[in-house]
A and B are shown apart, each in its own frame.
Chain A
Amino acid sequence: MAESATGEKLNYLNHERGLWSWLTTIDHKRIGLMYLFAMTIFFFVAGILALCMRLELFHPGPDIMTAETYNVFFTLHGTIMIFLFIVPGIPATMGNFLIPLMIGAKDVAFPRLNLLSYYLYLIGAVLALVALVKPVGPEFFSNFLTWLGLTGPVDTGWTFYAPYSLESGTAVVWMTFAAFILGFSSILTGLNFIVTIHKLRAPGMTWFRLPVFIWASYATAIIQTLATPVVGISLLLIILERVMGIGIFNPKLGGDPVLFEHFFWFYSHPVVYIMVLPAFGIVGEIIPVFSRKPLFGYKMVCYASLAIAFVGFFIWAHHMFVAGISDKSAIYFSIATFGVAIPTAIKVFNWVSTMYKGSIRLETPMLYAMSFVFIFLIAGTTGVYLATLATDVFYHDTYFVVAHFHYTIQGGAVIGLIAALHFWYPKITGKMYNDKVARSAWFLVFVGFNLTFLPQFVLGMQGMPRRYFDYLPMFEPMHQLSTIGAFINGAGYSLALLNLFYCAFFGKERAPSNPFESHSLEWQTQSPPIHENFEETPVVTDWPYSYGVPVEGGGHH
């Protein structure tokens, strides 16, 4: 085994040193970690914005901010969380780290393109930050900023709906251009993963020996490459309308704002599957390992990922039931939306059946995975209310949608990501996290999350409109519960991530190469892996879920 100058075993973290070696790396594992660092920062920034909003909503009436500030805060919370955190999300971090390892490859198909995706992501992030600048200072300077279009933080909501996004006096051009660049990054990542999974599988790694996370990532990558260009062109048209004065979406110039909504949701509905499909994959990896049972209905889980991606392209207008679309198309989109429940339910049933009569170990990743299943069940069933035309008319502009959305995306994608970070932590860092702290953090996250968003379902049913800065006194108790929950939730995430970062840098406990006794390929190499992943190209002879038989290289459990 090769050793570094200090006598440590050589791995991808220590084979090169220094900041420059990270900034210019084309190693998929390092790129995954660089995404993780950047995204963690944005997650906390957007999370703090959310806590400020919750604090403001603790009492009716203005408390800590004005209504205008509130509009800016919820736009930034949404934009940062969506475009800078959860859309790159699991694919950019865990996907980058795991896909080549899981299929037995040395890297992704286009490593330099992968690094380009990262820098496009950073450029998009910087543009989004620049868009926050307000015209201040001496007159010539503030005039210059105004001339550049930097007229203050965007207040349109993350959806940039026309015609308001065409009229708003804020820096919409900058923010939409940032989102456009981020979309480019997402397309290139998806393209890279599709080619990697097609071309770089190790000998013997047939399609039906692939881990379900690979299937989920593949389905995600298809959405990334096929849906993102459409939002790209919509945002580009918003920019053209504002800069050149043409009117594709502006009714004053002959355009149709509903067309923007169609374009936007043609991407932005599939994009929720970009967020949550990889989390499905992660849960599908974790549950068999900690149940010591083969994944139930493996092929159906694989097909369900593709089916969700496919159906996801044909149900976008269920976001527009109250936007004035025709009754006929509303009926079609309602029925088609129910269709997506089928592959989703297949997945849930398969996870639960995998656990049935398993030898379940409640390790931290498993606690998160089980919370995911519980939360996603609520997310899915409340989605049915919103797919139903008659009920959606009532619920659409209420907190019910806010709660449903956060149950799917925070309870789904974010908790999936946290589960993955714990599960693959020994592989990524070569260390173990502090288990007691990790469990306490999980408890805070789970309790805090449900306390935040369950009351919001009630608020929605009582008629509390979403995006409002103020409310009637009758909504106060539920808002207060929600605010308390949000702070517990925030404390949980902070504790979980602090634990992971602290143990990575200062932890003493070295992890064995396969502490959770997984059969998947990434656990068969050392922890952390060497620069090119495997000492020699592995040959695959079986699917990765033959649990119930002893495994070579088992850890301390």
Chain B
Amino acid sequence: MNSQTGELAGPPHVHHMDARTAYGAAKLGMWLFLGTEVLLFGGLFAAFAVYRWKYLGEFTHASKHLDWRLGGLNTAVLLVSSFFAAVAVDAAQHNDNKKVVRNLAITIGCGLLFLVIKYIEYSGKYHHGLFPGTAEWNSPEFNESYKCFFGLYFAMTGLHALHVIVGMIVLGWVLSLARKNRFSRKYYTPVEVGALYWHLVDIIWIYLFPLLYLVA
């Protein structure tokens, strides 16, 4: 990190503060935003805790309907993607824009793979009638505590999938900047804050996976 040397250069549009302040501001801003994301998901985690306590046996049983192999595969996919995001930051700090492009492309590709696997899981649930609105779901035999589990499952993983999509868009924007050779060891703020966001998306899944899939 070369912030000690005071050589950081800002993007052209930041005129009202020096480059080092702009870098610090962007990082602080992203960390705060990640804090708000944690609280957003925190509500869902709190709801999960409440209902797991309320319907302990049913949640354990319902969880067995989730395929831990597909969930585990997705965990691996996201962990790998985070690795490549980190490599992209390192590449930007070493003036290597081509390497940034390459690694972000792999990261985004992993995000896409994650969504494909998620789609396979969702459609499986749909075929088994574990999806809201299907005939089985609406039948009186389908216990309300199971509905609660799957309601939470779709709310939590759905919101997470939305974050994966947003993260892919953010990294796609950073990638387009890297293709224009915007980054150097003096200015790599977007790569770093973009990667920070991606790591958060990753880490939320790290918590979702054992809670939903392995709880049985």
B side interface size, CB within 8 A: 41
The answer to whether B133 touches A200, judged by C-beta atoms less than 8 angstroms apart, is: no
The answer to whether B39 touches A230, judged by C-beta atoms less than 8 angstroms apart, is: yes
Complex Cα–Cα for A111 and B29 (A) = 13
B121 close to chain A: CB less than 8 A: no
Q: A229 with B25: in contact, given A107-B16, A244-B133 (CB under 8 Å)?
A: no
CB of B158 to closest CB in A, whole Å: 8
| B138: nearest chain-A partner, CB-CB | A245
B124 close to chain A: CB less than 8 A: no
Contact of A247 among B40, B54, B55, B151 (CB under 8 A): B151
* A446-484 vs B, Cβ < 8 Å mask (1 yes, 0 no): 000000000000000000000000000000000000000
| B146: nearest chain-A partner, CB-CB | A254
Complex Cα–Cα for A391 and B44 (A) = 34
A136 close to chain B: CB less than 8 A: no
| A266: nearest chain-B partner, CB-CB | B43
CB-contacts of A253-267 with B (<8 A)? 253-256, 259, 263
**Which chain A positions have C-beta within 8 A of B152?**
246, 248
The answer to whether B41 touches A233, judged by C-beta atoms less than 8 angstroms apart, is: yes
| B155: nearest chain-A partner, CB-CB | A240
The answer to whether B37 touches A229, judged by C-beta atoms less than 8 angstroms apart, is: yes
**Which chain B positions have C-beta within 8 A of A99?**
none
A530 close to chain B: CB less than 8 A: no
**Chain B facing A: main interface SS:** helix
**Which chain B positions have C-beta within 8 A of A194?**
28, 32
Contact of A254 among B32, B41, B133, B144 (CB under 8 A): B144
CB of B176 to closest CB in A, whole Å: 18
A10 close to chain B: CB less than 8 A: no
A side interface size, CB within 8 A: 42
Complex Cα–Cα for A247 and B133 (A) = 12
| A109: nearest chain-B partner, CB-CB | B25
Q: A263 with B17: in contact, given A246-B154, A253-B151 (CB under 8 Å)?
A: no
Complex Cα–Cα for A227 and B39 (A) = 8
Complex Cα–Cα for A248 and B132 (A) = 13
CB of B114 to closest CB in A, whole Å: 21
**Which chain A positions have C-beta within 8 A of B42?**
229-230, 233
A129 close to chain B: CB less than 8 A: no
Q: A253 with B25: in contact, given A245-B132, A246-B154 (CB under 8 Å)?
A: no
The answer to whether B17 touches A200, judged by C-beta atoms less than 8 angstroms apart, is: yes
| A110: nearest chain-B partner, CB-CB | B29
A408 close to chain B: CB less than 8 A: no
B205 close to chain A: CB less than 8 A: no
A363 close to chain B: CB less than 8 A: no
Q: A225 with B32: in contact, given A200-B17, A259-B50 (CB under 8 Å)?
A: yes
**Which chain B positions have C-beta within 8 A of A225?**
32, 35-36
A299 close to chain B: CB less than 8 A: no
The answer to whether A200 touches B21, judged by C-beta atoms less than 8 angstroms apart, is: yes
Lowest 9 A-B CB distances belong to which pairs?
Answer: A246-B151, A254-B144, A233-B43, A254-B148, A106-B16, A229-B40, A229-B39, A109-B25, A199-B25
Please report B residues at the A interface, Cβ cutoff 8 Å: 13, 15-17, 21, 24-25, 28-29, 32-33, 35-37, 39-44, 46-47, 50-51, 54-55, 132-133, 137, 143-148, 150-152, 154-155, 159
27 CB < 8 A contacts A-B? A191-B29, A191-B32, A191-B33, A192-B29, A225-B32, A226-B39, A227-B39, A228-B36, A229-B43, A230-B42, A232-B40, A233-B40, A233-B41, A233-B44, A234-B43, A237-B44, A240-B151, A241-B151, A244-B154, A245-B133, A246-B147, A248-B151, A248-B152, A254-B148, A255-B151, A259-B47, A532-B16
